[in-house]
Structures are given as C-alpha cells and as structure tokens.
Amino acid sequence: MFEGILLLLHPAIAVITMLLIVWLIVSVKCKNINEARVKKLSLVIALFMLIIWVLAGYWYVIFYSTDKSVIIQSSWSFAHKFFMETKEHIFFVVLILSLYLPIVAFKNNIATNKTAQNLIVTLGIILLTLMLYIDGAGAIISHGAEIAYMHKDGLV
C-alpha cells in the first residue's frame, strides 16, 4: 500500500507545482506585480520540487529495481530504456531551474526589472514543458510496467 501511495504522491505534488508555476507566470505578467507573492511562489515551487525529488528518489531506489528488470525483458523495454533514462536526466535540469527561481525573485526588484520578469517567465515555461514531458514519460513507464507484468503472469 505504501508503494502505491508513494507512486501517486510525487506526481500529484508535481501537478500542484505545475499549477503554482502557472500562477507565478501570471503573477509576473500582471500589470501590478505583487512582489511578495512572486517571492513566496518561487520558494514554494523550489520546496515542492525538493519534496518531489526526495519522494521520487526514494521510490526509484527502493521499489523501481523490480519493475525495471521486468520492463526491460518485455516488449515495452523502451519504457525504461528511453523514457526512464531521459526522465532521470531531465529531472535534474528541472530541479536546478526551480532552485534558481527564488534566487532571481529575491535578487531583483521584480516590479521594475523587465529582464528579471522575462527570466522568471522563461524559466516557468521551460519548467512547465519539461515537467509535462516527465509526467507523460511517467505514465508510459507505468503502463510499460503494467504490460510487462501482464506478460510475465501470462495474462496477455
């Protein structure tokens, strides 16, 4: 049961984080920028990303090795060989960029600095794009594991 909760918890927090990124982008694009909100959102996004990293990393180290061996031996081996491998590497880019958000927000006067505003919006768009890929890759990996176990158990 813990494995199932953990498996759903990290993408659920990721979806919340993506919504917070959209809120951050909208907050920066508003005519009257609420700098305090931008700073708080950037911190929460970075914190949530660290939580996702811990939860997903724990799941990967403790539970994924069993799934990995089954997936690799199935017709859905690409689910690990391509999607998990790219997901593992892209996540570190996402983590670094999300940790950079509060630095930009706190080091600049966001209300007047157009360059900082554009940087936050650009970082947000990059984060959203990469996180959507990671989410989709996770769905493919999950489906690959399901198919692999069905083949292993002779259900297909």
For the chain, which residues make up each domain, given as ranges? 2-152
Confidence band for 1, pLDDT divided at 50, 70 and 90? confident
What tens digit of pLDDT does each residue of 7-32 get?
Answer: 789 999 999 999 999 999 999 999 89
Q: What is the average pLDDT value for the chain, to the nearest integer?
A: 93
Specify whether the CB–CB gap between 48 and 102 falls below 8 A: no
Specify whether the CB–CB gap between 79 and 141 falls below 8 A: yes
Residue type, 96: I
State the average pLDDT over residues 56-79.
89
The pLDDT assigned to 6 comes to 79
The pLDDT assigned to 155 comes to 76
- How far, in Å, CA of 155 to CA of 150, rounded? 5
Give the distance, in angstroms, between the CA of residue 44 and the centroid of all CA atoms in the same chain. Answer: 14
The pLDDT assigned to 3 comes to 76
Question: Is the pLDDT confidence value at 65 over 90?
Answer: no
Confidence band for 84, pLDDT divided at 50, 70 and 90? very high
Question: Is the pLDDT confidence value at 149 over 80?
Answer: yes
pTM here? 0.91
Give the distance, in angstroms, between the CA of residue 136 and the centroid of all CA atoms in the same chain. Answer: 10
The pLDDT assigned to 120 comes to 98
State the average pLDDT over residues 99-113.
96
State the average pLDDT over residues 106-127.
97
Q: 147 vs 6, which has greater pLDDT?
A: 147
Q: How far is CA 52 from CA 14, 44, 58, 126, in A?
A: 7, 12, 10, 18
